Amino acid sequence: MRIQGDFYQLLKEQGYQFGASAVAGEGRDFMTATTILAFKYRDGVLVAGDRRATAGNMVMYDRTDKVLEIDRHSVMAIAGVPATAYEMVRVLEHSFKYYRRTQLQELSFEGKLRAVSKLLKDNVPAALAGTGAVVPVFAGYDFQQEAAKIYFYDILGAEFEGVEYAVSGSGSPTIRGILHYLNTWGGRPLAASTEEEAAIQALRLLTSAAEFDSATGGVNRETNLYPIIKVITQDGVRVMPNDQLKRLFESEVVRHV
């Protein structure tokens, strides 16, 4: 008897194929999205991403949302091919909803991690063909452990817990080094930061990444364009508004440049 509640398995039984190999696209420049980061702060987890999507050396779009809500208490930040990542998020969103409605309870945090890994593993042919690689960061609130958690993945679906922080995308080498420095010698751990302090660090980190990585978009104050920053606490996912980011950027980032 088939266990109820697995929406992804239901899709496969209906003939849905995810991540089919696309050798025909070999040699073409596909749109990719970078850069994303997540780290713990005092009340939960902050997840942020710049807005730029590129194809080769071309800037294709500067208003990409790379931090996508899956349910009330979890998000997936995406680095890689947006088309594949958005499809993954849609499958996960409906899978979690299907489980909730059929089992009359939320899917466990461990179950959510397995679901992300399963999609990435089934996407391996497209990832290896170079047409559908996604290297996400998954963050959410684990009610069983009563803690916010961060996990990052490789393109094959292996998962790793980012105990304090995780980064992905072309700007990640710059950010990873700064995060390590801040968390080790910054006076106090990142996890002790307030929400505003965490947001200031995220803005500074993405601005630093944009300085050294052309695929990472910076802040454009003329068009009121700022990174996407979302926080996850026991109360759920919340988006930090542009007005707040603008105030923090002008007072704590530009002022110190």
Q: What is the pLDDT of residue 132?
A: 86
**120 token code pair:** 């990435």
Q: What is the pLDDT of residue 22?
A: 44
* Class of 31-256 in CATH: alpha beta
Tell me the torsion sign for CA atoms 138, 168, 64, 45. positive
| Count of positions (residues) in the chain | 257
Enumerate the domain spans of the chain.
31-256
Give the separation between CA 4 and CA 99, rounded to whole angstroms: 8
User: Is-contact 242 57, C-beta < 8 A?
Assistant: no
Residue from 32, 34, 35, 174 carrying the catalytic annotation:
34
35 in active site? no
Q: List, as one string, the DSSP characters of 146-208.
A: TEEEEEEE-TT--EEE-SSEEEESTTHHHHHHHHHHHHHHSSS-GGG--HHHHHHHHHHHHHH
Q: What is the pLDDT of residue 32?
A: 80
Does the predicted TM-score (pTM) go above 0.85? yes
Could you tell me the CA-to-CA distances from 182 to 117, 147, 164, 201, 241 in Å, in that order?
30, 22, 11, 9, 25
Q: What is the pLDDT of residue 203?
A: 98
- The three-class DSSP label of residue 66 is coil
Mean pLDDT, each 10-residue run in order, the chain (257 residues):
52 59 51 89 98 90 95 96 94 96 95 97 90 94 97 95 96 95 95 98 97 94 96 98 97 81
